[in-house]
Structure 1
C-alpha cells in the first residue's frame, strides 16, 4: 500500500481502530446477508452497511459512520429506483471513468487503489456500487430537471462581475443556517424550500430567529458588508444573481442547509481583489459548544495574534487538535468557506462545530492569496449556475422520495 493513500485516507490505523471499537459488529451481528433495511421493494443487507461504513472510515468521514452508511444506502436505493423507472443506468465506460477519477484523488491507478482497499477488507463491488449510485443519479437529475434550468444573460453578467471582482461588488446579506441530520432531512429540506419563497426582510429575520442555528440568528441573520470575491466560488453566481429581497434556493452545506437573502448590493468603479488561495487554522476543543469551551476559546483568542501562535497553544497537546490548511478557494468546505468570508486576517470565529457537535472549532483566518490569473469564461459561469440549480432540484426531489418511500429498518 502506498504512503499517499495512507496519508489521504488514513486507511490502516483508522480502520483498525474502527474495528477495535466494535463499530462494525452491530451490523454483522444480524447475519451478513440478512435484510437490515427494506426501501420500497429493495433490500439493504447488514453486509452492505458494514462495507459502506468501512469505506466511509477510509474516506475520513466524521461522525457515526454506521449510521451514515445506513442513510447513504437508503438514499442510493431511492436514487436507483427513481432512475430505473426512466431506464437510466450507468454504463461500463462511465463506471471505469468514475473509478479513475476517484483513484486520481489519491494519486493512484484504479487497480492499485482497489487492491489497497481490498487489503482493508473492502470489496471492489462496494466501491463500484458507490460510483454507480453517483453516476446514475447525475444522469437522472440531468434528464429529469435539466430542461427546467434556464440561465439568463443578465445572471451571467452579474456572476462574471462577482467572480472577477469587476466593478467592486459588495453585498449585504442575511443568512439562515438550519442544522441537518439524517433523521430530520426530509423536514428540513421541506422547510428550506418554503423559506426560499420569502421576499420580505422582516419575514426572513423572523425565520432566522426561529430556525437558524448560526450565531447570527439573534440579530435576524444579518451579515456585515462583504466583497463577493470572498465568498466560496460556487456561491458567487447565486448571490450575484439576487435582487434585494430575493432569497437563494437552499444551499447544501456539511450537516446543514443555508439560505441567503440579498439586503443590498453596491458597485464601485474600483475592482475588488480576487483570491486564489486561503490559509486558515482550526483548533478543536473537544466537548462541543459548552460555556467552558467558549470561555477557553475567548482566553486563547486574547493570547494569540497570528495563526503561528496556535502552535504554542497546542504544545504538549495531541497534534490532531490543530489543523492548518492552505487551499484553493474552491476546495475549502462550504461551511468553513462561508465563515471565513465574514472574517479579516487573524480574526477568530467559534461559530462552527464538527463531529456532530462534539468538538468546537476555533477557526482563524491566517491570510488570503491574491489571484492574478485569467478570468472565468461566460460558459464556465453559466455551467456553475446550472450545476448549483440542478443540485438544489436533486436535494429537494430526494427529500420527497424519502417522505413517500416505505422504509423499514430491522
Structure 2
C-alpha cells in the first residue's frame, strides 16, 4: 500500500453509505453457505466484499467474497486439523505488517475501516486466515518445494543457447509405436513418406496421423537450432531441400517424418553447449483413452513445470520427475520430442512400464552468469514461491473436492 492506497481509502469512505452486497440485507446473520458443518453468514461475506472494495481489490462482490471465504474456511479447518495454532503475538505482527503498507498503525487502519462500515474483526479474520494457510503450506510442502542449488543455478542460466548457429524451420509427423504395432507403424510411415508431396499435403497428414502437440497446426514448428535435434533427425533434415519430406526416422518409442520448410545458415558458428530442463509426469494406463484424456486435462490446466507439482500432490514422488541434462546425454526419442517443444508445452508420445509419459519442456539452459546482485537468491525464492503456490492450489482443490458445501 502507498499514498495512492490511502487516497483510495479516503475516497471509499465518502462512498461507504452505498451497500456493497444487497444479498446480506434482511437476514445478515443467517448462514449464506455451510462448509463441512461450519456456517458463513451473509454479514461476514458482505463485510469481506466491502473490505475488498475499500482496498480496490478484484472480486469485491458478494459472490467473489463468498467463494474466497469458502476457500478460507477449508484452509482454516485443515490448519487446525494439522494441530497448528496462531499466537496473539503472531496475529498482531501480521496486522502491523499489513497496515504498515499504507503507512498506518493497525489502530489507525481499523478506525478508517470502521468509518466505512467495515468491522475491525473483518480485518483481523482476513489476516488470521492468511497466516494459518501460509503456516500450513510451509509445514506441509516447504521441504519438498525448496529448490537445490543446482536448480537455482539452472534457473538463472535459463534463456537459450546464445549462439546463432544453423537454424531449421521444420514440420513434423510423430506416430507412437509399441512392439505390437511396430510393423503397422512402419508400413504407414513408409507410405506417407512416398505419398506426401509439398507442405499442404504434409500438414493434412499431420492433422490426421500425428500424435504430437503440433498436430493441430499441421505439424508446424518454429525455428530450431540444428544442434538441439538428435543426430538421426539433423542428418536427415540437412539432406533435404525446402519442401521435401524425410524418410521415416525410427526413434524407438515413435517414428517421425520431417518436412524442411526453410534453413538459415547466416549465423553459423560453433554453438555453445546447452542443457535442457524437462519434467515427466507418469499417468497409469499407457496409451489408453482414459490416460490420454487425463493428459489432455492436465495440459489444459498447466502452463509451467512448476504447475505439475500441484497435479502430483498426494501421489508417490516417483510419478513426477524433473531433470536437467546436456542435450547429447538425453535419449534420442526424448531429445527429439523436447527439440520440438516450446517452454511449457507438453507431449504424450512416450510411454513406459504401462504408464503414459506426459513430458513438459521447462526451459533450455545456457552458461551461468556472475551473481553480483543476488540473482541466485532471488531466483531461489522465486522458484520456492512458485512451487508452494502450485502445491497450495492442488491441496485446496483436494480439500474442496472432499468437502460438503451447501447453501445456508
SS of structure 2 residue aligned to 1:89:
coil
TM-score, length-scaled by structure 1: 0.50
Indicate whether 1:242 and 2:239 are aligned.
Answer: no
Kept after mapping to 2: 8 A contact 1:39/1:78: yes
Unaligned runs of 5+ in 2: 165-209, 225-274, 282-303, 310-342, 346-359
CA distance in 2, matches of 1:68, 1:158: 39
Kept after mapping to 2: 8 A contact 1:168/1:270: no
1:192 maps to: none
1:80 maps to: 76
Identify the match of residue 389 of structure 1 among 387, 390, 408.
Answer: 387
1:40 maps to: 36
1:368 maps to: none
Greater mean alpha carbon deviation, residues 385-394 or residues 75-84:
385-394
SS of structure 2 residue aligned to 1:242:
strand
SS of structure 2 residue aligned to 1:260:
coil
Kept after mapping to 1: 8 A contact 2:3/2:102: no
Mapping of residues 303-382 of structure 1, within 5 Å: 374-376=372-374, 378-382=376-380
Kept after mapping to 2: 8 A contact 1:39/1:74: yes
In structure 2, the CA distance between the partners of 1:169 and 1:67, relative to structure 1 (3 Å rule), is farther
Count how many residue pairs are aligned between Structure 1 and Structure 2: 243
Q: CA deviation at 1:224?
A: 8.7
CA distance in 2, matches of 1:146, 1:169: 37
Kept after mapping to 2: 8 A contact 1:5/1:11: yes
Kept after mapping to 2: 8 A contact 1:158/1:241: no
SS of structure 1 residue aligned to 2:63:
helix
Identify the match of residue 26 of structure 1 among 23, 26, 33.
Answer: 23
SS of structure 2 residue aligned to 1:375:
coil
Kept after mapping to 2: 8 A contact 1:169/1:268: no
In structure 2, the CA distance between the partners of 1:36 and 1:375, relative to structure 1 (3 Å rule), is same
Indicate whether 1:260 and 2:344 are aligned.
Answer: yes
In our comparison, the structure showing a higher alpha carbon Rg is 2
CA distance in 1, matches of 2:147, 2:85: 28
CA distance in 2, matches of 1:224, 1:270: 24
Q: CA deviation at 1:69?
A: 0.5
1:26-47 deviation per Cα after TM superposition (whole angstroms, max 9, x unaligned): 1223x12111110002110111
TM-score, length-scaled by structure 2: 0.50
Q: CA deviation at 1:380?
A: 4.0
1:409 maps to: 407
Q: CA deviation at 1:161?
A: 2.5
CA distance in 1, matches of 2:376, 2:132: 28
In structure 2, the CA distance between the partners of 1:158 and 1:268, relative to structure 1 (3 Å rule), is closer
Kept after mapping to 2: 8 A contact 1:12/1:120: no
Greater mean alpha carbon deviation, residues 395-404 or residues 242-251:
242-251
Mapping of residues 165-176 of structure 1, within 5 Å: none
1:98 maps to: 94
Q: CA deviation at 1:409?
A: 1.5
1:233-285 deviation per Cα after TM superposition (whole angstroms, max 9, x unaligned): xxxxxxx9833889513299xxxxxx92365956677979xxxxxxxxxxxxx
Indicate whether 1:110 and 2:99 are aligned.
Answer: no
In structure 2, the CA distance between the partners of 1:64 and 1:383, relative to structure 1 (3 Å rule), is closer
In structure 2, the CA distance between the partners of 1:241 and 1:24, relative to structure 1 (3 Å rule), is farther
